[in-house]
Structure 1
């Protein structure tokens, strides 16, 4: 129970509802877990329960991903037996059906990634219950195997609301799965782990396609993706994350609609001409920079957003930026294994940003620095990170680009985001810290967050490091042009 004198009780219901929406959206609890999601909100006190039950959208995030854990931790479920039996099954299904009932007619966001090895009987009941509401699916993230594909048959003509679909598997596409179901609103598709892609895509309305897996045959991979582009002229965004270790044969292809490309395979890039390309995401690999420079020259496109992963700012990288110098609006720099040499590299970037005619149209700048969490060196993550390039000069550069707004018609910096998830010290004087806060008050969207002994956080609204760490992916997508994670509240 909430204490009688708690300030929470004085919050208006509308404010509570907004807080609840944000919590449920960020919470990863299964909908059949009584200790998380809307269940825990509705069990705090009478007023919270009233708000939770009055907002069906809170119950529309249908996640089922931890059956093995839930069946072994039934003390937090509405069951009394710790074994997998009919009573446990009924308890889990009771929560699922009650959540579906409380969501009323709201669109559903379904995420169902469960192993078929255990609890096959329970899984069958769960799939049937969720599929019965497929006409309300707004987004769906499903792991499929040949053992369960027949259970999805009812969706074949009932996906009128579906706008985003993610399918995961480590098999070939099951022939029985109705992936060609009628889905007139489907615009975004992601495939993970499949041994082969679908060519052509069976969804004519899809504009954004992503694929993540390992190809055994590099020639087959390249040719398959090029064929996919050739047969799907409507695509505007293509994200390819796969390992293709050897050069492969290729045929040139011009695609007139593609606006966003994310790939790190030089063979794919060398094969394409993209006159409408606006956004590019690349990871540092051998041969990638010459391939990208050739793509930009060949395509004669107006690149607006560039996301660079693990690039040193050498002459070759600067030459790439020079090719899109006058059109680039958004630059994201991500370093996943920060080393001492990277500090010198970032200093070169800062020096270039100080030049008035370098990237004159830049509106958004993001610098994200991590280290590899899988390092065998236990002290690797705690080694201090030299951030001396985030200094008073860096703040002066931001201020200069922010002041350009005072000249009518001149492009100016609107957003600056620096996240360093490492022990580090930022060498900013108090004067420049105050200047940053002043720019925040004037309207510049600026966040500089690091694991600093002083707890440095220069965002306008204070956020701790864990919060900023969680939101970094959303922020990057926002910089790249509005690809925000699903947050449908209505």
Structure 2
């Protein structure tokens, strides 16, 4: 039922405004609804179950009952209509009050902020705080994809107050990391991604992509205006993806991580044409054989950090030979057979060697072949038996400034650890069942 401009129900004395009138009208309806239901019994009420022949019927009397019932029905229907109108008005009024309450709270919080220490903090201090609010992007597989991004910093910070929004939007470095994927609502997702990337204002970008079949063209088109900014790229490739397009022609690229559960036939050619700015290369989820190492040869000389898996220790030594400037290596060594004896090799710049896994008894042979005079961190997997004598010989031969030796639980004994420290007094030996965390 519609109400007029004064808030009254047409043909009714029920008023819907202001608040006190609305409440009074509702109370009036409720009071009337508590009236005792009249006795509706008549001499004819039991007629269907009685002996019809014994009851005298007076048509005029029955008509009077029907007329009375119609009047009662009209009155009750009118009350129901009034009550429904009141209920609709109460519902609408409740929504208005909720909105009013939210605006009051926002205004109150805003004015509280004026006297808050946070309001008086310099923009530079707020910027540092906001950077600590960002999600942890060190492991891209835990990054947040759209639309969850709007519930994380920096997006969520823009909705706190006007000043915070101005500060957050004005700090390009808060918008330099982003996880993208081909979303089913692509137009909406692309708009959000593009707005995010524009706010980076030319700063170096660290991006992560999920690339399925035919996704590369769409994602590459989105990123085309920002290719000169991309310094770090993590890309997860799935079956049928033409992912090679994503890491071509990126003149500022310094770090590339390719995660794939299959061999990418074109990867060696496209990776070998990467810019000379590249310093970090990670190939995850596949073994790299000798032929592929050779195809990647042009870029190894410039790399300082590598993470990949090889089939056998010979490939590891070949990798070290191809990478004279390497300072950090995370390596997995597969179950491939040794085709020839490991030749002694010295790498003078390697500071960090993290061995994710190794098969058979190759760890002692590897320790016997290597000399690493600049080694500062060694992470080694459990190996039974542990190559204690071979590691001691490596440390003595290298005369390295080793600072940390990290292994899995039970790999070394107290006596063995004491011997390592005797060789290098400043050495910290860590036995940790979660030693794999140090591989990240």
Q: TM-score range by the shorter chain?
A: 0.5 to 0.7
Matching residue of 1:38: 154
Partner residue of 1:12 out of 116, 122, 129: 122
Per-residue CA deviations over 1:150-187 (Å, capped at 9, x if unaligned) read 6626x53432x322222111222331562123422322
Render the CA deviation track for 1:367-417: whole Å, top value 9, x for unaligned.
x9x9xxxxxxxxxxxxxxxxxxxxxxxxxxxxxxxxxxxxxxxxxxxxxxx
1:19 Cα deviation (Å)? Answer: 1.4
TM-superposed CA distance for 1:103, in Å, is 1.1
| 1:206 corresponds to | 303
Name the residue aligned to 1:363.
Answer: none
Distance in 2 (CA, whole Å) between partners of 1:290 and 1:63 is: 46
1:270 equivalent to 2:368? Answer: yes
Q: How does 1:363-402 map to 2 (within 5 A)?
A: none
Offset of residue 121 of structure 1: 5.7
The structure-2 alpha-carbon separation of the partners of 1:208 and 1:151, relative to structure 1 and needing over 3 Å to count, comes to: closer
**Aligned match of 1:191:** 283
Give the secondary structure class of the aligned counterpart of 1:319.
helix
Q: Counterpart of 2:29?
A: none
Name the CA distance, whole Å, in 2 between partners of 1:131 and 1:226. 39
Structure holding more helix per residue: 2
Question: Structure 1 residues 332, 319: closer, same or farther in 2, change over 3 A?
Answer: closer
2: CA distance, partners of 1:189 / 1:109: 14
Tell me the equivalent position of 1:107: 204
| TM alignment of 1:19-168, pairs within 5 A | 19-24=129-134, 26=136, 28-30=143-145, 33-64=149-180, 84=184, 88-112=185-209, 114=210, 116=212, 120=213, 124-130=217-223, 132-145=225-238, 147-149=240-242, 152=245, 155-159=247-251, 161-168=252-259
* 1:228 CA displacement: 1.2
2:278 aligned counterpart, secondary structure: coil
Secondary structure in structure 2 of the residue aligned to 1:241: strand
Give me the whole-angstrom Cα distance separating, in 2, the residues matched to 1:131 and 1:269: 46
Would the aligned equivalents of 2:135 and 2:152 in 1 still touch at CA under 8 Å? no
Q: Indicate yes or no: 2:424 matched with 1:333.
A: no
Distance 1:31 1:58, change over 3 A: farther
8 Å Cα contact 1:31-1:61 kept in structure 2: no
Whole-angstrom CA distance in 1 between matches of 2:180 and 2:248: 22
The equivalent residue for 1:259 is 351
Match of 1:319 in 2: 419
Tell me the TM-score normalized by structure 2.
Answer: 0.62
**In structure 2, how many angstroms separate the alpha carbons of the residues matched to 1:314 and 1:260?**
24
Asked if structure 2 preserves the Cα contact closer than 8 Å seen for 1:24 and 1:37, the reply is yes
Q: Secondary structure at the match of 2:416?
A: helix
Rounded to whole Å, the distance in 1 between the matches of 2:397 and 2:245 is 45
> Residue in 2 aligned with 1:308?
407
CA deviation vs aligned residue, 1:256-278 (integer Å, no higher than 9, x gap): 32232222641432322223323
Q: Give distance in 1, aligned partners of 2:169 and 2:207.
A: 20
C-alpha contact (below 8 Å) 1:97/1:129 kept by paired residues: yes
Partner of 2:389: 290
Q: Pick closer, same or farther for the CA change 1:249–1:139 going to 2, 3 Å.
A: same
How far apart, in 2, do the equivalents of 1:195 and 1:128 lie? 31
Please report how far the alpha carbon of residue 40 of structure 1 lies from its aligned counterpart in structure 2 after TM superposition: 1.5
Q: Secondary structure of 2:272's partner?
A: coil
- 2-structure distance, mates of 1:185, 1:172: 25
Contact 1:179 1:202 in 2 (8 A): no
- Alpha carbons of 1:332 and 1:12: their partners in 2 closer, same or farther (altered >3 Å)? farther
Q: Secondary structure at the match of 1:275?
A: coil
Aligned counterpart, 1:181 = 273
Q: Contact 1:127/1:151 (CA < 8 Å) preserved in 2?
A: no
C-alpha separation in 2, matches of 1:102 and 1:279: 39
Q: Secondary structure at the match of 1:48?
A: helix
Distance 1:121 1:228 in 2: 33
Q: Which runs of 5+ in 2 are unaligned?
A: 1-105, 138-142
**1:412 maps to what in 2?**
none
- Inter-partner Cα distance in structure 1 for 2:248 and 2:220: 15
Distance apart, 1:146 and its partner CA: 6.3
Partner of 1:409: none
Measure, in 1, the Cα distance between the counterparts of 2:429 and 2:220. 40
- DSSP-derived class of the 1:168 partner: strand
Choose the corresponding residue for 1:236, options 309, 327, 331. 327
- TM-score normalised by L of structure 1: 0.56
Q: Which runs of 5+ in 1 are unaligned?
A: 72-83, 338-367, 371-472, 478-484, 486-490
Whole-angstrom CA distance in 2 between matches of 1:335 and 1:305:
12
Distance 1:256 1:115 in 2: 36
Residue 287 of structure 2 aligns to a residue whose secondary structure is coil
Post-superposition shift, 1:308?
3.4
* Alpha-carbon distance in 2 for matches of 1:49, 1:294: 59
